[in-house]
Structure 1
Amino acid sequence: MPISETWLLPDGVADVLPEQAQVIEALRREALDFLASRGYQLVYTPFIEYIESLSSLSESNQDLDLATFKVIDQLSGRLLGVRADMTPQVARIDAHVYPVEGVARYCYAGTVLHTKPQGFNTTRAPLQLGAELFGSDSIDADVEMIDVMLNLLKTASFADGIHLDLGHVGLFRSLVKHAGLTKAEENQLSDLYQRKALPELAEFTQDLKFGADFYTLGRFSSDLDALEANLSAEIIADPAFKQAFDAVKTTRSEIQARWPDLHIGIDVVELRSYHYHTGLMYAVYAPNRAAPLAQGGRYDGIGEHFGRARPATGFSCDLYALSAGQFKQVQKVVAPKGTDKALLDAIAALRAQGLSVIQLLGNDDLNSIPFATHQLVNKAGEWTVEPI
C-alpha cells in the first residue's frame, strides 16, 4: 500500500480529535456518575466473545445478527463475535456471572462495532452508553427507566424541545394472536405499519379476520382515545390487548406527571425490533435530528439463553451522536522552564484547579506549543496567568 494511503480509515470509522474528545469524555463521566446516583452499577464487558453468548438476542433479532462482525478464534477454532450491542453481555452477567436475587441495575459505556452503519451518516463504531434493569415486570420499572433516560439527556443539555415517543408491541402481537394470522400475514402487516401505508393497509385487511381492527390500529395509532372508541368490543376485552393498552396509558400519565413540559407522542404500531421487544418501547428525539437521541424498551426473558429468564427493561444511546457538533476549546497554560519553588508551586496550584499546564522544555518557546491560550508570567514576584 502506498504511504499516502496508510493513514486512511475504513468507511464509517473516524478519529476523535481533542476538541470533541473533551466533550465526549466529560459527557461520559457525568452520565455514569448520574447513573451511579440512581443505583445503577457500572460493568465492563469484553469486546469479543464466543458467538453463542452474543446470540441470545440475534436468534430473535436478525438485524443484530447481521450487524455483528464474526471471526475465527485462532486459539480454540471457535467462532467469535465482536459485540454490536452490550445488552446481551449484561444479560449474561445478570443471568450467570452475577446472579443476584431481586432487582438488579447495571450501566455500561463502551465501543461497539457494526458491520454496516445503522443509520444515515452514522459511525460503525458507536460509543454506546446505557442502563439495564432486571428482575421487575412492573410498569414502575419502565417508568423509572424512561425517567432515568430523560434525566441523563438533561445532563447532556437536551432538556428543551425533546420529544418522547411511546409504543407497545403487545397491542399488535395480541391482535395477531387473537386473529390467528399466519407468519406471512403478520410480517406483511408489520411492514405496512412501519411504512404508514394506510391505503395499502385498508386493502390488505379487507379479507383478514378482525381486519377492521388491524386497520383501526394503524389509522389511530397515535390517538389512544380514538383507538379505544373504534376498536371492536371483543378486542378491547382481550386480556393481553387490554394489559398492553393500559400500560401505554399509565406510562404516559406517570411520565407526564414527572415531566409536565415534555411532549409525549404515541405510536402503537412503531414496531422497530418487533421480534426483540416484548412490551413498552420508548425513544427520545430532538429538533433537527432524524435519529433518536436514546431509545429502549422491555425485553422480558432475555436471560433464558443463559439459563435464567428474567424480566428486563433498558435503554442505550451513542455518546458520539449526543456530542455531535459540540466542541470545547481547551485552556492550555504555558509555564517557563525552571525549578524555582514558587514557580513549581504555581504550576501545581493551577493543575489542582483543573487547568492544563505545560512547562517548556530545553530551548522551547511559546511557538513550540500548539493551541496555547495562556502563559504563566512573573510580575513583581507573583506568578500570574495571562492570555496569549
Structure 2
Amino acid sequence: MRNWLLPEYIEDVLPAEALRIEVLRRKLLDLFKVHGYQYVIPPMLEYMESLITGAGHDLDLATFKVVDQLTGRLMGVRADMTPQAARIDAHLLNHQGVTRLCYAGSVLRTKPDGLALTREPLQIGAELYGHAGIESDIEIQRLLIKALQAIGIDEIHLDFSHVNVFGSLIETSNVDAQLEQDLYAALQSKDQPAVAALTKALDHATREALLHLTELNGDQSILAKASQVLPATPAIKKALESLQQVSSAIDQLGASVSFDLSELRGYHYHSGIVFAAYAKCYKGPLALGGRYDEVGQSFGRARPATGFSLDLRGVVSALPPAQSNMAIYAPVSADPALANKIASLRNEGRVVIEALDSADADLNELNCNQVLEHYNSGWHVVDVVRN
C-alpha cells in the first residue's frame, strides 16, 4: 500500500499556489476589515445539532460525522461556516444592532464540488446581521464585487433570484411537502413538461405562474415581464421591487446582472434574494450568497441576515498563472555588513535565502534569480546570468 496517497479529492497545496492563496486571503480580510467586518474563527468541529440547525437537509448530507469520545454525542466537521457565524452572532456577541462578521478557513465536504472539485474548499465570506432592509443586501453585493476585483477578476456578472416568488405561489396554493419538493427539483432543471404534469391539480393561476417561472430568466426586462404574468401577491410584488433595486445599485459598479426566477438554490435555507457571481473563463459560480433571516431563529434568537462566501482555492485555480516570486541567494559569510544587508532587504519584503554551507547551491530549486555579491566595499544584489 502506498501510504503517501491522499483520499480522493483531497489535495496538498504546493508552495506557489499556497503563497498566492495566502496573499489573497490576507487582502480580502483586510478589505472586509476596512468595511467594518470583524474577523471570527469558528471551530472545525461542533455538535451536529449546532452545525446544521436551520441549514437544511443538503448540509446534513455534506457533513462528515464523528463520535465525540468524551460525551458520546455525534459531532460534525464543518461543511459551511455561515451557520457558525450565525451562531456566534446569536449567542456569543448578542448585539442588538447591526453586526458584521467575516471568516476564512477550510471546510470539509463529503462530496467534491466547486471550481476546484475538492472536498476541502477554503471558504472565505462576509455576513451582515441585524438589518432587514434592501440596503444591507446591496452592501453585501457591493462588497462581493470589490472582493472579486481585489482578487484580479474582471467582467463580473451577478445572477439574481428571490425565493419568495416560488414560496408565495406554494403558500397560497396549500401545496403539500412532497409536491413542493418535486416542483422545486423540476424548476431547478427548468423542466417545463414536468412542472406541467405536477401542477395538473392546482388552480389555473398558480399552474400558469409556475410554468412561467421556467421561462423567466434573462436581463432586466424579465422583471417587467414577471410583474405581468405572475400573481400580484404582496410577497411577489415586494420580491420583484427588491430585485429591481439591487439591479440599479449593482449597475453603477460596472458589473452586469441577470435574473432567473426559477433558481431556488438553498430554498429551504434562504429567505429572500439569492445570487451567484460569475466571470469570464470560469466554468461555474465564483461565489454564492443571499438572505437567510430564518437561521438565527433556529439558534433561539431571530436576526435578519445576509451574506456571501466563496472558495478561494477554487477561484485561484482558475486564475491565470502568477509571476514567480523570485528570491535572492546570500553566500556564507561572517561579515556583519552582509547580515545588515540581508535584514534590510527582508524589511523591504524581499525574499533572501542564506546559504548553510559553502557548497554550490541549486539556484533553480531555491527559486533564486539574484545573488548577493561583495564588490566596491559593499554587498550588492546582482542578477544571475543563466546559460
> Is this a same-fold pair by TM over 0.5?
yes
Query: Structure 2 matches for 1:223-372, cutoff 5 A?
Result: 223-231=222-230, 235-236=231-232, 238-256=233-251, 258-259=252-253, 261-325=254-318, 326-367=321-362, 370-372=366-368
User: TM-score, normalised on structure 2?
Assistant: 0.93
CA shift, 1:353, in A, is 1.1
CA shift, 1:147, in A, is 0.4
**2:182 match:** 188
Q: Give, in whole Å, the separation in 2 of the partners of 1:267 and 1:218.
A: 8
**1:37 match:** 34
CA shift, 1:193, in A, is 1.2
Structure 1 residue 124 corresponds to structure 2 residue 119: yes
CA shift, 1:28, in A, is 0.2
Q: Give, in whole Å, the separation in 1 of the partners of 2:282 and 2:115.
A: 11
Contact 2:64 2:108 in 1 (8 A): yes
Contact 1:128 1:319 in 2 (8 A): yes
The amino acid of 2:17's aligned partner reads Q
Three-state SS of the structure 2 residue aligned to 1:289 is coil
CA shift, 1:51, in A, is 1.4
Contact 1:108 1:130 in 2 (8 A): yes
CA shift, 1:119, in A, is 4.5
Aligned-CA RMSD value: 1.6
Contact 2:46 2:77 in 1 (8 A): yes
**2:380 match:** 384
CA shift, 1:164, in A, is 0.6
Three-state SS of the structure 1 residue aligned to 2:76 is strand
Q: Structure 1 residues 306, 182: CA separation in 2 closer, same or farther (over 3 Å shift)?
A: closer
Correspondence for 1:22 among 16, 19, 24: 19
Q: Give, in whole Å, the separation in 2 of the partners of 1:166 and 1:302.
A: 21
CA offset digits 1:291-347 (Å, max 9, x no partner): 211111000021222221111001000110111144441211111111212111111
CA offset digits 1:199-246 (Å, max 9, x no partner): 433444444212112212222243111122223xxx21x111211121
Q: Which moved more, 1:84-93 or 1:326-335?
A: 326-335
User: TM-score, normalised on structure 1?
Assistant: 0.93
Structure 1 unaligned regions, length at least 5: none
**1:163 match:** 157
CA shift, 1:382, in A, is 2.5
Identity percentage of aligned residues: 43
Q: Give, in whole Å, the separation in 2 of the partners of 1:30 and 1:105.
A: 18
Q: Give, in whole Å, the separation in 1 of the partners of 2:330 and 2:20.
A: 25
Structure 1 runs (4+) deviating above 6 angstroms are: none
CA shift, 1:198, in A, is 2.5
CA offset digits 1:267-297 (Å, max 9, x no partner): 1110111111110001101123222111110
Q: Give, in whole Å, the separation in 1 of the partners of 2:197 and 2:86.
A: 42
Q: Give, in whole Å, the separation in 1 of the partners of 2:298 and 2:208.
A: 38
The amino acid of 2:171's aligned partner reads K
Contact 2:291 2:307 in 1 (8 A): yes
Query: Structure 2 matches for 1:87-98, cutoff 5 A?
Result: 87-98=82-93
The amino acid of 2:159's aligned partner reads D
Correspondence for 2:53 among 56, 68, 84: 56
Correspondence for 1:76 among 65, 68, 71: 71
The amino acid of 1:278's aligned partner reads S
Aligned residue pairs total 376
Contact 2:295 2:302 in 1 (8 A): yes
Q: Give, in whole Å, the separation in 2 of the partners of 1:281 and 1:339.
A: 62
Q: Give, in whole Å, the separation in 2 of the partners of 1:349 and 1:317.
A: 37
